[in-house]
Amino acid sequence: MSPSSTSIKFDSLLNYLYSLQRLGIKVGLRHTFELLSRCGNPQSNFKSIHVAGTNGKGSTCAVISSILEAAGLRVGLYTSPHLVRFNERIRVNGEAISDTEIVRFIECHRKDIDKIESTFFETTTAMAFQYFADKKVDVAVVETGLGGRLDSTNVLQSDLTVITSISLDHREILGDDIIAITKEKGGIIKKETPLVLGQQSTKVKSELLILAQKMNSPVIEVKPLSFSNLSESETAFDYVGESYSIPLVGLHQAINASIGIESVKSFMPGIEKKIIDIGLMKTNWPGRLQRMSENYPIYYDVAHNAHGLISVFETIEIVFAQKPLGLFVMKGDKEIDLVVQALVNQFEKLIISGAPEFGLMPASQMSEIFLKYGLSDFEVIDSFHDALDKIVELSQEAGRPTLILGSHYIAKEVFNKFGFIF
């Protein structure tokens, strides 16, 4: 088959895969177990580290996988959503799954997918686990999609569970209060399986410890750290008497790195610090306070909930000591009341925009909601492309730090704007 024919087939099957989103989010693991059974239960053929939380779980997965790769292991990495290409979701030692492998899986299991009525995420999870088994990974680092207890990835009998910070998010699905959300996230805790626990609020920590005790799960609590340097290109910190550095910017990234360090030490006792250092410095996780221009301090971050936004603002304040310019977009299913509170008084100038074609809320609708919740100091530009041009122009004129925020779904447009090949 010619490359062009392969590309046409891939595009067609990928469209089919995306069409499964019409089936929405199913609550429960039955369909995932059934599809995996028809694939030969590949999830039983590799060790796994399962990561849940509200913020930082993707970065933490990237840190863990990078260190384990530096230790010489063959490491699978499953994360979501992707930034530019679907293939990014499924990786082995940093290399994304090929178009050919995606085509092979869908062609082989399309009848099963249709009969079971598997959703997009159920199908993608089965694809990832099949790929990891085929590639004979030593360990797979797996990020939950939404929640934990009923998330498709929770079919794993993991060798280590990890929970990053938990805060209010997806209340319409996970529950109205922090305890309900914690119980859902904590649903990945497995019987007698070690749990690495990131720093939490008192109420969240107490609930997670109760869940761990019920499962007789040993708990490794991540200890407080201290920061030694935060710059535009890296974050240096001290953790348990050792100095570390990571090429991800932000106080929150040091916290994520410390969770990653504890996770790797639990999975590979005795791992040398020099291996950890190599893995940390090779960590690559785009779209997280990623600088987009050599000449101007323009950053893109996918932060989309209140906790994530606050972490970004804290970092910018420390590094630049001035309020940034901002361009903000968002999906319609977010906790807008909490988001508005996080955005108040954070910008020298704020532009809001929308891109319904990217699955984002129209700017006019966002404007009405922002005004309702008390945020009024912003400019509305309906076209995202026009808004992007405007914020870049303003940044170049002012020389002020600039943030493009709010969604994974604008990544391709942002990267294209700045000439990034992804």
- pLDDT per residue as tens digits for the range 32-43: 999 999 999 999
Whether 169 is in a domain gets the answer yes
Q: What percent of the chain has pLDDT over 70?
A: 94
Q: Is the model's pLDDT at 2 over the cut of 70?
A: no
pLDDT in the model for residue 23: 65
Q: Pick the closest to residue 74 from 5, 3, 131 (CA basis).
A: 131
At 26, is the pLDDT very low, low, confident or very high (cuts 50, 70, 90)? low
Has residue 175 got a pLDDT over 50? no
For residue range 302-346, what is the model confidence (pLDDT) as tens digits? 998 888 999 999 999 999 999 999 999 998 766 788 888 899 999
Q: Edge-to-edge strand order for the sheet containing 325-328? A: 290-291, 298-301, 402-405, 325-328, 349-354, 379-383
Segment of 18-22, 110-114, 168-172 carrying the highest mean pLDDT: 110-114
Q: With a cut of 90, say whether residue 404 has pLDDT above it.
A: yes
Check whether residue 86 and residue 229 sit in a common domain.
yes
- The pLDDT score that the predictor gives to residue 356 is 84
pLDDT value at residue 177: 80
pLDDT score for 28:
76
Range of the domain at 209: 3-281
| 344 and 264 inside one domain | no
At residue 173, the pLDDT reads 47
The CATH code of the domain that includes 396 is: 3.90.190.20
Model confidence at 92: pLDDT above 80: yes
171 pLDDT tier (thresholds 50, 70, 90): very low
Q: Do residue 96 and residue 238 come from a single domain? A: yes
What is the average per-residue pLDDT within 105-116?
Answer: 95
CATH number of the domain that 183 lies in?
Answer: 3.40.1190.10
pLDDT (tens digit per residue) in 77-87: 999 999 999 99
Across 23-37, average pLDDT = 83
262 domain residue, yes or no: yes
Q: How many domains does the chain have?
A: 2
Q: Residue range 44-72: average pLDDT?
A: 96
Average pLDDT, the chain: 92
What mean pLDDT is predicted for residues 156-164?
A: 97
Same domain? 233 vs 267: yes
Pair (70, 12) in one structural domain: yes
- 147 and 173 in a single domain? The answer is yes
Of 257, 281, 305, the residue at which a domain comes to its end is 281
Half-sphere exposure of residue 88, counting CA atoms within 13 Å on the CB side? 17
* C-alpha torsion sign, points 264, 268, 269, 275: negative
Tell me, yes or no, whether 102 and 19 share the same domain: yes
273 with 300, same domain?
Answer: no
Residue 172, pLDDT score: 46
Number of H helices, E strands in the chain: 15, 17
Query: Which pair of structure tokens corresponds to residue 263?
Result: 């996770």
Residue 409 pLDDT > 50: yes
Q: Which of 281, 303, 335 is the last residue of a domain?
A: 281
Q: Kindly report, residue by residue over 235-282, the tens digit of the pLDDT.
A: 999 999 999 999 999 999 999 999 999 999 999 999 999 999 999 999
The yes-or-no verdict on residue 179 having pLDDT over 80 is yes
User: Which of 264, 281, 298 is at the close of a domain?
Assistant: 281
Same domain, yes or no: 115 and 225:
yes
Closest CA to 227 of 151, 340, 319, 136: 319
* Judgement on whether residues 179 and 70 belong to the same structural domain of the protein: yes
Residues 340 and 257 in one domain: no
49: DSSP letter: E
Which residue did the predictor score with more confidence, 6 or 385?
A: 385
Higher pLDDT, 265 or 356: 265
Q: Is residue 67 part of a domain?
A: yes
d(CA 422, CA 287): 11
* 125 within domain boundaries: yes
**237: helix, strand or coil:** strand
Residue 315, φ and ψ in degrees, nearest 5: -65, -45
Per-residue b/e over 200-237, b at no fewer than 16 CB within 10 Å? beeebbebbbebbeebebebbebeebeeeebeeeebeb
**Is residue 117 domain-resident?**
yes
Q: How confident is the model at residue 137 (pLDDT cuts 50, 70, 90)?
A: very high
